Amino acid sequence: MSLADNTCIPCRGGVPPVPADRAQALLSELGRGWSLNQAGHLERLYTFKDFAQALSYVNKVGAVAEVEGHHPDLYLAWGKCKIEIWTHKINGLTESDFYMAAKADREFEVFRAAVS
């Protein structure tokens, strides 16, 4: 089962972030392009052929986020979308953050296939 097949579990706070070694192991399971930024959040930049594709992707990821109850920060610009994911309630990473990242990658596959 891939990370994207897991269901995000809502965080109510009061739980510790995943340990650094577990975060690195989960990061290695994600597709290329994901990294931990200076704040310790998951981050990836996706590129598209134009603004319309980038906007369509943002809408698709937004719909998945609503279903999962797990909302990443999405930054939209012409031909690109940056996603930043962390669990706000604990200001750190949970396994669900990695699940959401994998789900974002899954949504991107439609765009990658259209370009190929």
pLDDT of residue 114: 64
Range(s) of the domain holding residue 75? 18-115
H or E stretch covering 82? strand 80-85
Per-residue pLDDT band for 15 (boundaries 50, 70, 90) equals confident
Domain count, the chain: 1
pLDDT at 28 over 90: yes
In a domain, 22, yes or no: yes
Region 10-22: mean pLDDT is 85
In a domain, 53, yes or no: yes
pLDDT at 116 over 60: no
pLDDT digits (tens, 9 = 90+) for 39-87: 999 999 999 999 999 999 999 999 999 999 999 999 999 999 999 999 9
CB neighbourhood size of 90 (10 A) = 15
As a residue count, the chain comes to 116
In a domain, 74, yes or no: yes
Query: Do 6 and 29 contact (CB within 8 A), yes or no?
Result: no
DSSP for 7-65? Answer: PP----S-SPPPPHHHHHHHHHHSPTT-EE-TTS-EEEEEE-SSHHHHHHHHHHHHHHH
The residues near 98 (Cβ < 8 Å, ≥ 6 apart) are: 3, 26, 27, 29, 30, 42
Region 83-104: mean pLDDT is 95
Per-residue pLDDT band for 3 (boundaries 50, 70, 90) equals confident
Per-residue pLDDT band for 110 (boundaries 50, 70, 90) equals confident
Per-residue pLDDT band for 115 (boundaries 50, 70, 90) equals low
In a domain, 7, yes or no: no
In a domain, 78, yes or no: yes
At 68, which CATH number?
A: 3.30.1360.20
In a domain, 13, yes or no: no
